[in-house]
Amino acid sequence: MAISEAPATSFYQASLRQFDTAANLLRLPEELRLILRMPKRELTVNFPVRMDDGRVEMFTGYRVQHNMNCGPAKGGIRYAPDADIDEVRALAMLMTWKCAVVGIPYGGAKGGVRVDRRLLSKGELERLTRRYATEISLIIGPDLDIPAPDVNTDAQIMAWIMDTLSMHYGRNVPGIVTGKPIAIGGSQGRFEATGRGVSIVAREVAKHIGIKFEGATVVVQGFGNVGAITARLLHDMGCRVIALSDIYGAIANPNGIDVALAQKYVKEHGRLAGLPGSTVISNMQLLETPCDILVPAATEGQITFENAERIQAKLIVEGANGPTTPEADLILQRRGITVVPDILANAGGVTVSYFEWIQGRENFFWTERRVNEQLEEMMIESISRVLKKSDELNVPLRMGAYVVAISRVAEATEFRGIYP
Ligand code: NAD
């Protein structure tokens, strides 16, 4: 039942390994294992984009739907130079478990385009987005598969996708994406939702394991949508944020960083380095900074076999998807460090995406207060279910969360049976 010590060779293999361990714990029948291990549908698209200088460049994009037995597929789209089918497959699978762990009626999907967004002008970004949306329109739709923002994508990109597909349909189809701007049917609170969820989870689990939350020291890796908002909310909740990072490097201030000021600084300078009062450290030093709560909120594979022995946090809350490799997980477990898994910790985003989808269907829009209250209620319920399951089985929170999630998807799969 233990996870093998050999490093997984890819993100997807690492995700399968987590699944297999939970499936063993659950004694999941072989038939269900076969079905749940595999993505249902994968689409790879190669498409041309006319660049500003008149040249044509070819781009590659993906959309993978892992499982749709609990409802339409849901999952973000990322733009990254190293995006590939393996990564998108792994992320789609994680989305299946994430939706199930918080009990929302969706399956899991993910999309990606291999591109360095920083190298595109706004016009090129728009043309690339509209063409990618058209290419994947074969398999997305408000009742089929609903994309959302992820790494290097945002509300503007969702607006272009929604507008492109509305032009194809000949009518408005706001339900085709979530994370849209509020002016075209987005939800109050969606922009902050993932970070809000991460901060609620950090607070609840810190309480549960006996960390004094007020004044707790916090380190956050990644200062994008998830990282910056988590850092700001934890700061506002009374924690002391002592180190932050972005792709350009990391900064530290043991007396505490004013996160709102850091956000303002990044808006003006494009990076954290140089924030007055802070010193520059490396990204590796950041992860190894002694602290109460570490939030990896950048990308996958950051806490590994190599550095897990040197992590000095009491609690790790996975804002990013897949930041801890299975080998690192075992080391952290042995060292008594609590890890709140991605599928629970960052589920706030997809939860408010679900609220956005409901609001769009009803054409009745909630106040920010209602969104935040409902999010908090669902997160707290999900956390306590996972804590209870982990206690009951005497396993780490990741396995508790996987068991809750896989049981739900397995039940739906069994009821539906095999067609024909
Ligand atoms: P983003 O593009 O808004 O921000 C990413 C941040 O990470 C940026 O500050 C970037 O500079 C930094 N970064 C990238 N590589 C880094 C590295 N190697 N070291 C340090 N910093 C690095 O992306 P995001 O939406 O905040 O997503 C971050 C993570 O959270 C991803 O794993 C994503 O899948 C996950 N996630 C996002 C959402 C969402 O709603 N946006 C929801 C759930 C999970």
Give me the DSSP letters along 231-242.
HHHHHHTT-EEE
How far apart are the C-alpha atoms of 1 and 117, rounded to whole Å? Answer: 42
pLDDT for the residue 29: 97
Residues 198, 163 within the same domain: no
Query: Among the options 74, 110, 180, 314, which is catalytic?
Result: 110
Task: Let me know: does 112 contact 80? Beta carbons within 8 Å.
Answer: yes
How far apart are the C-alpha atoms of 356 and 340, rounded to whole Å? Answer: 26
Grade residue 6 by pLDDT with cuts at 50, 70 and 90: low
| Ligand 1 atom nearest to 193, measured from its CA | 40
How far apart are the C-alpha atoms of 296 and 302, rounded to whole Å? Answer: 8
pLDDT for the residue 25: 96
pLDDT digits (tens, 9 = 90+) for 269-280: 999 999 999 999
Mean pLDDT of 369-388: 98
Residues 161, 200 within the same domain: no
Closest to 58 measured CA to CA, from 71, 47, 42, 43: 47
Mean pLDDT of 304-318: 98
Task: Let me know: does 337 contact 205? Beta carbons within 8 Å.
Answer: no
Residues 166, 208 within the same domain: no
Grade residue 193 by pLDDT with cuts at 50, 70 and 90: very high
The residue assigned the tokens 């194809």 is: 168
Distances (CA, A) of 331 to 3, 21, 309, 311, 325: 11, 16, 7, 10, 10
Task: Let me know: does 98 contact 74? Beta carbons within 8 Å.
Answer: no
In whole numbers, what is the pLDDT of the chain averaged over residues? 97
Tell me if 418 is assigned to some domain: no
Amino acid at 123: G
Atom 38 (ligand 1): residue with closest C-alpha?
150
Of 316, 345, 374, which residue is a domain's last? 345
pLDDT for the residue 5: 47
How far apart are the C-alpha atoms of 177 and 80, rounded to whole Å? Answer: 20
Task: Let me know: does 30 contact 353? Beta carbons within 8 Å.
Answer: no
pLDDT for the residue 282: 96
Tell me if 115 is assigned to some domain: yes
Residues 217, 279 within the same domain: yes
Residues 148, 68 within the same domain: yes
Grade residue 1 by pLDDT with cuts at 50, 70 and 90: very low
Mean pLDDT of 192-215: 98
Cβ–ligand 1 distance for 153 under 6 Å, the answer no
pLDDT for the residue 4: 43
The alpha carbon of 227 and the centre of ligand 1 are apart by a number of angstroms equal to: 7
Q: Which residues pair with 59 in a beta bridge?
A: 47
Task: State percent of the chain over pLDDT 70.
Answer: 98
Instruction: Give 7's contacts (C-beta < 8 A, 6+ positions apart).
Output: 304, 305, 325, 327
The residue assigned the tokens 């970070």 is: 195
How far apart are the C-alpha atoms of 168 and 146, rounded to whole Å? Answer: 16
Grade residue 141 by pLDDT with cuts at 50, 70 and 90: very high
| E strands present in 224-364 | 240-246, 249-252, 279-281, 291-296, 313-317, 338-340
Lowest mean pLDDT, pick from 5-9, 220-224, 230-234, 337-341: 5-9
How many Cα atoms within 13 Å fall on the side-chain side of residue 198? 34
Tell me if 403 is assigned to some domain: no
Closest to 92 measured CA to CA, from 63, 129, 69: 63
CATH of the domain at 75: 3.40.50.10860
How far apart are the C-alpha atoms of 370 and 374, rounded to whole Å? Answer: 6
Phi, psi of 149 (to 5 degrees): -70, 150
Of 314, 345, 376, which residue is a domain's last? 345
Pairing of strands 73-80, 56-67: unpaired
pLDDT for the residue 7: 61
Residues 129, 93 within the same domain: yes
Residues 198, 327 within the same domain: yes
Amino acid at 35: I
Tell me if 18 is assigned to some domain: no
Grade residue 102 by pLDDT with cuts at 50, 70 and 90: very high
Q: Which helix (H) or strand (E) holds 56?
A: strand 56-67
Q: How many helices (H) and strands (E) does the chain have?
A: 14, 12
Is residue 3 pLDDT above 50, yes or no?
Answer: no
Task: Let me know: does 19 contact 37? Beta carbons within 8 Å.
Answer: yes
Tell me if 412 is assigned to some domain: no
The residue assigned the tokens 């339409």 is: 72
The alpha carbon of 299 and the centre of ligand 1 are apart by a number of angstroms equal to: 6
| E strands present in 155-312 | 217-221, 240-246, 249-252, 279-281, 291-296
Residues 277, 149 within the same domain: no
Residues 336, 233 within the same domain: yes
Cβ–ligand 1 distance for 79 under 6 Å, the answer no
Grade residue 2 by pLDDT with cuts at 50, 70 and 90: very low
Cβ–ligand 1 distance for 225 under 6 Å, the answer yes
Mean pLDDT of 108-115: 98
CB atoms within 10 A of CB 253: 18
CATH of the domain at 335: 3.40.50.720
Grade residue 8 by pLDDT with cuts at 50, 70 and 90: low
Is residue 230 pLDDT above 50, yes or no?
Answer: yes
Cβ–ligand 1 distance for 349 under 6 Å, the answer yes
Tell me if 116 is assigned to some domain: yes
Domain tally, the chain: 2
Residues 207, 291 within the same domain: yes
Is residue 413 pLDDT above 70, yes or no?
Answer: yes
How far apart are the C-alpha atoms of 275 and 269, rounded to whole Å? Answer: 9
Amino acid at 157: I
Of 345, 367, 397, which residue is a domain's last? 345
Full domain range(s) for residue 135: 38-172
Amino acid at 380: I
Residues 205, 340 within the same domain: yes
Q: Which two tokens stand for residue 245?
A: 């990072």
pLDDT for the residue 9: 76
Cβ–ligand 1 distance for 102 under 6 Å, the answer no
How far apart are the C-alpha atoms of 102 and 347, rounded to whole Å? Answer: 7
- 110 catalytic residue (yes or no): yes
Residues 281, 245 within the same domain: yes
Tell me if 42 is assigned to some domain: yes
357-383 residues labelled b (16+ CB within 10 A) or e (exposed)? bebbeeeebbeeeebbebbeebbeebb
Tell me if 128 is assigned to some domain: yes
Atom 15 (ligand 1): residue with closest C-alpha?
247
Query: What is the dihedral angle through the alpha carbons of 342, 196, 338, 396, rounded to the nearest 10 degrees?
Result: -50
pTM of the model: 0.96
Amino acid at 16: L
